A and B are shown apart, each in its own frame.
Chain A
Amino acid sequence: MTANYTLIDGSKLIVESLVQSGVESFVSYPITPANWINQYASQRFPTMAFAPDEITVAQWIAGLSSAGKLSATATSFPGLALMVESLNMSFMMELPMIIVVVQRLGPSTGSATVGAQGDLLLLNSLISGGYNIPVFSISNITDCWKVTEKAVHAAVELRTPVVLLTSKEMVMTSRSIDLALLPELKKAQYDYYKDSKPYVPYAANDKLVPPFLPLTSNEHQVRINSSTHDDSGTIKKATKAALGNTIRLHNKIQRRMNEFLIYEHDEDKDKNILIVSYDITGESTREAVKQLRNSGLNVSALYLKTIIPFPKELMTIINAYENVIYAEENLTGLLVKMIYGNNPPNNVSKVNRIGAMISPLEIIKETERCLQAC
């Protein structure tokens, strides 16, 4: 077969996938290493705005989204930190939007041009009260295309902000890929309110999500609210109906995220060792698995893509293995902590580092150590 490659970086694929999946507007504020996404977005989106800070970004995308122009932005931890209150607002308002979080080395301003996987626990606890906004993670270059589409669909169908989690080395590295092999993308479809009866903005259907109308509706009054509200969309103290609405926000994510479950389980013949990874460490894991198998070892791998809320189905897969190795580019193992708390079981081991991508060799060594130990 003749090779047919285009040299393209992850940023460009993410931007193109956002547009082709139905995102209409983008708001940017510069931050390394999300700048390429912001730059490409400024050429590609029909509606593009440049905000003076990240709080403004988060408010503008909420405004755009509430007026029916599905919106996105890209940032890194320092910008995400500024957006937290506004993302809580959009979660409560039930506004779909996509926040691409390009991880870099922290804490604080850390090193802007060094990658990391440091934000998982922050994202898992982003919403006051322990509610989740969905988080999808990109584990290789084609995920920039496919996982982005899934994130957009989840945002629209569940009416929620969604985080697309990636890191510096994914969005700022160019790779040769055959674009013809990328699947066609589908635009996310809104469930619009079509009835002639008065619109009750937060009256949810059996799918736990209220049909949407933008603030530009010419047929019905629309009320959107960030404070505790009942289905009328007006502010209420903690009444039973209002609390019921808030609990629904939790339930819609927890019960329906299985519709947006994506992962890769690269299964070998026995259930001895499973290497679990997400985001940029997926690349090192793929290389490590290839080399381990070349040397005759049986290892399986799980690449997480739907990552928050952590899918029950994946726990079933993980628990079937005798030994599980978690590889992630941070100091303490955030994924392990997210899954098991502070006391992971004895059959769990970790490969961690900061300051550079985990190399395949580090994963290979830990796998060999595990195999010898058992």
Chain B
Amino acid sequence: MSSSMLIDKNSPYCPGCGHQSITLGLAKALELLNYDPLDVIVASDIGCCGLIDPMLACHTIHGLHGRACALAAGISIAIDNPKKKVIAIQGDGGATIGIAHLLEAARRNFNLTLIVNNNQIYGMTGGQFSGLSNETFQNDHGLVDAARPFDIVEIAHKAGANYSSRIIAKGDIAEKLKAALSTKGFSLIEILEVCPSYGIQKYSDIEQLGYLEKSFVNAFNPFTLQATSQKPFVTREHSSEAAQFKHKLEKNIKIILAGSAGEGIQSAAELFAKAAMYSGLHVTKKGDYPITVGTGFSVSELIFSPEEIYYTGINEPDIVLVISQNGFDYVKNRIGEKTSIVVDNAVRHDQTNIALSYDLKAIFGKKNAAICSIGLWILMNEPFPFAAFERAVKESKHGEKLSVVLDKTQTIFDELKLHA
């Protein structure tokens, strides 16, 4: 046998250890498949099986207990080259603690082969049982773990692995490994062996535990990267929106827009912020809503300022625009003596400093009430021209529809002025 895959035949393993025959079998299988050593990457766990590195002529990466499959997955995601072969080596203990990683590798059919050296026990730590230990297996202390083991081969198959097999580490296993190594997508091969230090007193042969060789195939698509738009968020062209309106603010104003989920609060706040920006103001905006975003209050906090804004918190707002009861209840404790309030008529409250109370939702519907309240507040106070808000609204996704809302807002404002 040629030995281009092996640079050191000195085995680190105990005499009679199955890991040695697996190492030799793996090297031979890769040679039979004509792999250049520099096209092969072996990721290994700590533990006895991970002592394989120094023997191999290929690239090696030696990681943590139980994570070699995940580490190999990361490598395989990076590599889009069918010439390259990624292999992970774990023991039965590593496959137990890292079982989620092999399920994920099977589900996505990452282009890699996972070899699980199952010698029934944790060898380095003294012969403890793993999740893959046979329920009749007795260790050198005479103990048995009666729980049934995971059938990792069937589990990998059910999870989508394009190839999974169980073999016995007996004789030349290179031919059997070739099928796994040639698979496109994820392949798992569980290799049964006996630990000469902690198992051999009771078993001369792993077949005494009743294991039979078997293999399964699937024909799922191997992993490929999903294309992303990769469109830059920041380019020089993004900065072409010059402020075309003039604001009248001499100091900052702090505004809270308070409504409920589904009332378009966050989008309305964005348009309000843009209108301020189009008027040359500095702006900060943040949303506040329950982690269950589809229900309860939805609040947006805005600061507009002629100067740069550092601190973005609002302790006591100057303005509160209230669309719903939820929103009011959430912000009412922050309303101060000087806070000016625009509120929907349907909201129950005990506030006296009301700048305007109106049938916002009854007239405009729950989706448009926020836009209307912002519009009315701008028209009443003129911090910047209403046209700035019209521009922001027109440019938005539902610009045409919302422009109608703004026209109606203007009409209402004119009527209010007449009545006043």
Measuring CB to CB, which residues of chain A are less than 8 angstroms from any residue of chain B? Answer: 2-8, 12-13, 15-16, 19-20, 25, 27, 32, 40, 42-49, 51-53, 55-56, 59-69, 71, 85-86, 89, 93, 112-113, 140, 145, 169, 172-176, 178-180, 182, 215-227, 233-235, 283-284, 286-287, 290, 356-357, 359-361
Contacts and interface: CB of A to CB of B under 8 A. Distances in A.
B283 A7 contact: yes
Nearest to A49: B77
Interface string B45-73: 01000110110011111111001001111
Given A69-B78, A224-B62, A357-B313, 15 more contacts: A7-B283, A16-B233, A63-B43, A63-B76, A64-B75, A67-B41, A89-B67, A179-B238, A220-B38, A222-B60, A223-B62, A225-B53, A225-B62, A235-B62, A287-B310
A117 B77 CA distance: 34
Given A6-B238, A7-B273, A60-B73, A173 B285 contact: yes
B53 A234 contact: yes
A320 B100 CA distance: 54
Contacts, number: 244
Interface stretch (B27-35, B199-207, B224-232, B340-348): B224-232
A-B pairs with lowest CB-CB distance, top 6: A63-B74, A59-B70, A67-B78, A60-B74, A286-B310, A63-B75
Nearest to A59: B70
Interface string B220-247: 0000011011111111101111110000
Interface stretch (B128-136, B173-181, B274-282): B274-282
B270 interface: yes
Given A47-B78, A173-B312, A225-B62, A4 B242 contact: yes
A221 B57 contact: yes
A182 B77 contact: no
Contact of B243 (A5, A46, A175, A226): A5
B228 A62 contact: no
Contacts of A55: 67, 70
Given A47-B77, A172-B286, A175-B283, A6 B239 contact: yes
Interface residues of B, number: 72
B61 A4 contact: no
Contacts of A360: 310-311
A360 B315 CA distance: 11
Contacts of A145: 234
B416 interface: no
A5 B241 contact: yes
B249 interface: no
Contact of A219 (B38, B72, B78): B38
B104 interface: yes
Given A43-B228, A215-B75, A175 B70 contact: no
Contact of A4 (B50, B63, B239): B239
Nearest to A285: B310
A85 to B, nearest CB: 6
A351 B75 CA distance: 46
Contacts of A227: 46, 62
Contacts of A175: 282-285, 309, 312
A94 to B, nearest CB: 12
B291 A32 contact: yes
A169 B314 CA distance: 12
B387 to A, nearest CB: 16
A7 B243 CA distance: 13
B375 to A, nearest CB: 19
Contacts of A46: 228, 230
In the complex, which of the residues B72, B73, B311 has the most CB atoms of chain A within 10 Å of its own CB atom? B311
B10 interface: no
Contacts of A19: 232
A43 B230 CA distance: 6
A2 B228 contact: no
A56 B70 CA distance: 6
